[in-house]
Structure 1
Amino acid sequence: MEFALSNLPLSLLEAINPDVSLRGQASADLSLQGASQNPEGRFELRLSEVRQQQERELGRLPELAGRITASLQDRQLRLEGDISGFAEEPLNLRGNLPVQLSLSPFAFEVPETAPLDAELTWSGNIENVVGLFPVDSIRLTGNGEVDITLGGTLGEPDLGGRIELSNAVYENFVSGTLLQPLNLMIEGRQDRLEITELQASDGGDGEFTGQGSIQFREGEELISDISLEFSNMGFVHRDDVTAHLSGNLSLQGDLLGRSEVSGEIRNESIEIRLVNELPPSVSELNNVIILGQDDGDEESQDEDANEEDDTTADSGPVMALNIEINLPRRVFVRGRGLDSEWAGQFSVKGTASSPQVTGSLEPQRGSFSIAGKSFQLQEGSVSLPPGNDLNPVLDLSAAAQAGDIQAIIRVTGSASEPRIDLTSNPTLPEDEVLSRVLFDKNSSRLSPGEALMLANTAATLTSGGPGITDIARNLLGADVVSFTPSEEEDEGLGSVTIGRYLAEGVYVGVEQGTQAGSTELDVELDVTDNIKVNSQTGTDGGSQVGIRWQWDY
């Protein structure tokens, strides 16, 4: 008997299972001969241009090609295969499996005591393997090698060989985590895979180590016993949060059933920065219509998504969490004039799919500075929202005496979108409070220059966005725009300075006052990193030249 199949589109698999969205072609050849109770034959499957349809969302993934041949003779099934297209070297499979096959009546059996002989090999850059998956939030590169053997019997399998990753670099673009270098060695030993080496650094003083095993048991159990230790590891490096942590974690239990992650984490240093301005947020698009897809397809996809969520919630592996996070000190919240230190404790319970974080931070010391006025931190808390969001929620207050009132600054919102409000006791309007803080006088007595500074400070303080000077600098294409109020209340604005760097180390600026003949040209030249020449020339004919020497250490 012979059978042949040529260039069958893999897209037809979607009719059988809508979750399978493969593209490519498949060809196959099958031949059988001999007695029906003990047949012999050969089967070959060839795959070409295989890819996932969803890959267009994250860019084009590599097209794969594969070949699998199976020959049956003398009750021995010999397997050979390879997968190529994702790296310079293909993934190779070889095996020899004793079987008992009958076509009439049909029966297929692998004896429990028959010897097994199989091998899986590959070597190359692990980045090529990661590129097979539609992920764009991580980068993993390094030398990878796979040499796994399977011996023993079906009843008592014997795993051998190793999986090795050396001189690797792992980077997470969301948290900023960097592991460099990363070395991993997993060895097969009878019924388990053992982690004999796991070492990594964060590129600095941080260290990360691990060990453990995963055991294969009968009854579809995958028993994990893995422990991790880390010291001063920089796990978070973002514009708004950095965190260096020490501690230990363990993963125990059945990975296909119920397991638990437990341990203790303590901070070496955590810094939360109230960044001035983040990139614009991405708007969520509702009611998106995909051309070529009718309403029935859309409703079907929604139903499938809901069914998938329900299935995930009701069944499948469950990973429980039992982690204590101790932050005795050295938790700093800084930026937008705030400089403070905090301490606290968090507990992480629940499951990996639905974590529950409780706890908060309490202030130890700190102050809030605005225009030279120092506000002492009084009370507040910094907490994390439920889930895996690394965006702390802020609730801080600081106070300072400004003449006959007490000015109070409250910082609320999140670290990425903080809100700053200025109040007082007794209650006054915000601009009036700011006037007392900046100039120690009523806002009605401000000069035009002081009023301009008040408006600029209010815009920067409350929104974190550009103030009046920032807007003027962008419109004029200048590097420096500043307003200086007059020292006398009845002399108005004072002066305006506009300047720009014409070349590396060459600055030219103009200062214009409100009085006649008050224009001044300022030229600065960086001769070396430590020597600067400054020249000032006024419209009244006066000029001066200075040389400045400085040394930073």
Structure 2
Amino acid sequence: GSLTASAGLAELGGFLGRSMAGRVRLEAKLSSDGQSQDVNARLEASGVAAGGIRVSRAALDASVRDALRAPRGEAGLAVTGASAGDASVESLSFKARGSGREAAFDLAAKGAFQGPFRASAEGAFAPARGGGRLTLASLKADVRGVDISLARPATAVFEPGGLSLYGFVLSVGGGSVTASGAMKPSRVDFSADVATLPLAVLGKFGLPPLTGTASAGLGVTGAPSRPRVSATLGLEGVKAAALEGRDVPAMELKGTARLEGGRLEADCSVSAGPDAAFRASAAIPARLSLSPFDFAVPRDAALEGVLSGSVDLARAAALSGDEALSLRGVLKADFTASGRLSSPALSGGAALDGGEAAYVSTGTRLRDISLDVMASGGEVSIKRLSARDMGGGSLSVTGKADLAPEHGILFWAQVVADRLTPVRMDLATATVSAKVDASGGARGARVAGSVHVGPVEVNLPDRIPAEATPIQVTRINAPGGSAPEAPAPSAPYPVELDVAVDFPGRIFIRGLGLDSVWAGNLHAKGLARKPVIDGAV
């Protein structure tokens, strides 16, 4: 016999109390030759919209022969024009054929999710009591212009309480990812490696554009309730993509971690040539269980840690890629951490003497830069951060931070500027004196003080320089237009202001027929994200 049915989803949505749209249609036919029972069915859907999911058209076909004794047959799913949130599927095709002993399948999809993608795969699945064997014969994909392919067939075996993986080798954008091993109730033995993965590939997925390669490894062995874990990470030839071809040293990173016998140890080194190298190591008690999964670090765990190294600031300026920035001096650091996680004890410090800094774009020049940072117990203090400009002005910063975890990080800092000239160029020269205090913690901060501006001289050019960069203007409220949808705001860090700014008649703006003197005083109060400003100009 046969069965045909159709329904509108709007009516079903009304019954369920949900907004739904579209139609579905079902056709089914049962037939028998006296010895075997055959089933053919087709389910179609069109114009479907429900719960943020939209499907222009979908069809599911199934054909089963000898359904009651030795079922075998084929099934296929075809979808066009589907979307959910930021993801869209232009086309999707899935086909399966076989019997109860083994079924072969193939998949093809094309769409977009934060960038275009295309993928295809072929394989087979053989069911068994409590699991089965999945063989992936081929896999090819193009995700945001990155080629991904399976180097050779891979197999996964599912068993009661266990999983085994064989021969998984994936080529990703010129690098490779391999994995193999088994996890069973009594033992786990698994390894995975990433080799020479170009960092440019990661840039296509939202990371900063970098050159260089990444390698990594992971090994897990032993009883699932207390496994031994080792991991490695290496980055070589790392540069910002904008610095490629320039005489800038590449960065390298080497890291290792090991968890065994209830102890987690980690070591990491970063360098950019012989004049910039830092090393950090740490060790704490830790427990890991894979079955059931649990990872815990005791709150009163003993802590061991070291951070040491030095960097030539000229090398750091080169690594920034900003040709307008110039730095001189050597920053040295040596810190040690001990005690317990609940009450860490720090010692050591960082120092810089005779440093210099210049920024050509603003005419900023600082000399005699000194830094003295000390750590003792749970407190880190900036004993001195000072600098002088070329006109005799000065800048100094002092402060401290309490790192005791029981009440969160608390900090205090004071910035004092005395006739400092941070801007000195033909277009403008500005001098500032200030005394500002900042204090707070994890829940918010308060900034209070006074700023005295002047003298300031602004010389407007008679014409716009040829090298000036045009500014693109987007009119969001133009007639006939629409404002772009604003992203959902995140809760900002609350900063309370109480800052007075005065400029008593010492701001001069000249040029383009203008010769003016500006004076006034302002007082900013309230939260920084929505300040209340009183005063007059």
Structure 2 residue 448 is matched with structure 1 residue 262: yes
- State the 1:225 CA deviation: 1.0
Conserved? CA contact 2:345–2:377, under 8 Å:
yes
Matches within 5 A, 1:443-482: none
- State the 1:108 CA deviation: 2.0
Query: Structure 2 length as normaliser, TM-score?
Result: 0.54
- State the 1:149 CA deviation: 1.9
Matches within 5 A, 1:230-241: 230-241=417-428
- State the 1:352 CA deviation: 5.7
Q: Please name the residue that 1:38 is paired with.
A: 226
Conserved? CA contact 2:447–2:499, under 8 Å:
yes
Q: Please name the residue that 2:342 is paired with.
A: 155
Q: Please name the residue that 1:317 is paired with.
A: 493
Q: Please name the residue that 2:386 is paired with.
A: 199
Q: Could you say which structure has the higher helix fraction?
A: 1
Picking from 368, 372, 375, the partner of 1:188 is 375
One-letter code aligned to 2:487: D
One-letter code aligned to 1:128: R
- State the 1:357 CA deviation: 6.5
**Would the alpha carbon gap of residues 21 and 329 (structure 1) be closer, same or farther in structure 2, given more than 3 Å must change?**
closer
**Would the alpha carbon gap of residues 93 and 58 (structure 1) be closer, same or farther in structure 2, given more than 3 Å must change?**
same
Conserved? CA contact 2:276–2:315, under 8 Å:
no
Q: Please name the residue that 1:526 is paired with.
A: none
- State the 1:175 CA deviation: 3.8
One-letter code aligned to 1:91: F
Conserved? CA contact 1:32–1:42, under 8 Å:
yes
**Would the alpha carbon gap of residues 31 and 271 (structure 1) be closer, same or farther in structure 2, given more than 3 Å must change?**
closer
**Would the alpha carbon gap of residues 183 and 335 (structure 1) be closer, same or farther in structure 2, given more than 3 Å must change?**
same
Q: Please name the residue that 1:327 is paired with.
A: 503
Q: Please name the residue that 1:143 is paired with.
A: 330
**Would the alpha carbon gap of residues 327 and 119 (structure 1) be closer, same or farther in structure 2, given more than 3 Å must change?**
same
Q: Please name the residue that 1:25 is paired with.
A: 213
Conserved? CA contact 1:192–1:215, under 8 Å:
yes
Give the aligned CA root-mean-square deviation in angstroms.
3.7
- State the 1:196 CA deviation: 0.7
- State the 1:117 CA deviation: 0.8
Q: Please name the residue that 2:465 is paired with.
A: 279
Distance 2:528 2:351 in 1: 28
- State the 1:264 CA deviation: 0.8
Distance 1:352 1:166 in 2: 35
Conserved? CA contact 1:58–1:135, under 8 Å:
no
Distance 2:473 2:429 in 1: 34
Distance 1:190 1:227 in 2: 22
Distance 2:364 2:452 in 1: 17
Distance 1:213 1:274 in 2: 42
- State the 1:122 CA deviation: 1.6
**Would the alpha carbon gap of residues 9 and 34 (structure 1) be closer, same or farther in structure 2, given more than 3 Å must change?**
same
Distance 2:262 2:490 in 1: 43
- When structure 1 is superposed on structure 2, of 39-48 and 199-208 the one drifting more is 39-48
Structure 2 residue 263 is matched with structure 1 residue 76: yes
Distance 2:220 2:487 in 1: 45
Distance 1:21 1:355 in 2: 36
Q: Please name the residue that 2:288 is paired with.
A: 101
Q: Please name the residue that 2:251 is paired with.
A: 64
1:350-373 deviations in whole A, cap 9, x for unaligned?
A: 766777776555xxxxxxxxxxxx
- State the 1:197 CA deviation: 0.7
Structure 2 residue 295 is matched with structure 1 residue 117: no
Structure 2 residue 533 is matched with structure 1 residue 345: no
One-letter code aligned to 1:314: S
Q: Secondary structure at the match of 2:314?
A: helix
Conserved? CA contact 1:319–1:351, under 8 Å:
yes
Distance 1:358 1:176 in 2: 32
Picking from 49, 59, 65, the partner of 2:237 is 49
Conserved? CA contact 1:78–1:97, under 8 Å:
yes
Could you tell me which runs of 5 or more consecutive residues in structure 2 were left unpaired when the two chains were aligned: 1-188, 475-483
Conserved? CA contact 1:181–1:203, under 8 Å:
no
Distance 2:518 2:276 in 1: 52
- State the 1:21 CA deviation: 4.5
Structure 2 residue 8 is matched with structure 1 residue 8: no
Conserved? CA contact 1:86–1:132, under 8 Å:
no
Structure 2 residue 366 is matched with structure 1 residue 171: no
Conserved? CA contact 1:58–1:134, under 8 Å:
no
Matches within 5 A, 1:495-514: none
One-letter code aligned to 1:46: G
Q: Please name the residue that 1:431 is paired with.
A: none
Distance 2:457 2:245 in 1: 33
Q: Secondary structure at the match of 1:129?
A: helix
1:383-402 deviations in whole A, cap 9, x for unaligned?
A: xxxxxxxxxxxxxxxxxxxx
Q: Secondary structure at the match of 2:487?
A: helix
Conserved? CA contact 1:209–1:228, under 8 Å:
yes
One-letter code aligned to 2:437: S
- State the 1:320 CA deviation: 4.3
One-letter code aligned to 1:47: L
Q: Secondary structure at the match of 2:315?
A: helix
One-letter code aligned to 1:166: D
One-letter code aligned to 2:399: G
Conserved? CA contact 2:211–2:244, under 8 Å:
no
One-letter code aligned to 1:179: L
Structure 2 residue 315 is matched with structure 1 residue 128: yes
Conserved? CA contact 2:311–2:331, under 8 Å:
yes
Distance 2:524 2:361 in 1: 21
- State the 1:345 CA deviation: 1.9
Conserved? CA contact 1:81–1:92, under 8 Å:
yes
One-letter code aligned to 1:117: E
Conserved? CA contact 1:125–1:143, under 8 Å:
yes
Identity %: 27
- State the 1:208 CA deviation: 1.7
1:80-106 deviations in whole A, cap 9, x for unaligned?
A: 221123663422112222222233333
- State the 1:239 CA deviation: 1.7
- When structure 1 is superposed on structure 2, of 117-126 and 325-334 the one drifting more is 325-334
Distance 1:276 1:286 in 2: 23
Distance 1:201 1:171 in 2: 12
One-letter code aligned to 1:146: A
Q: Could you say which structure has the higher strand fraction?
A: 2
Distance 2:265 2:444 in 1: 37
Distance 1:317 1:234 in 2: 30
One-letter code aligned to 1:261: V
Q: Secondary structure at the match of 1:161?
A: strand
One-letter code aligned to 1:7: T
Q: Secondary structure at the match of 1:310?
A: coil
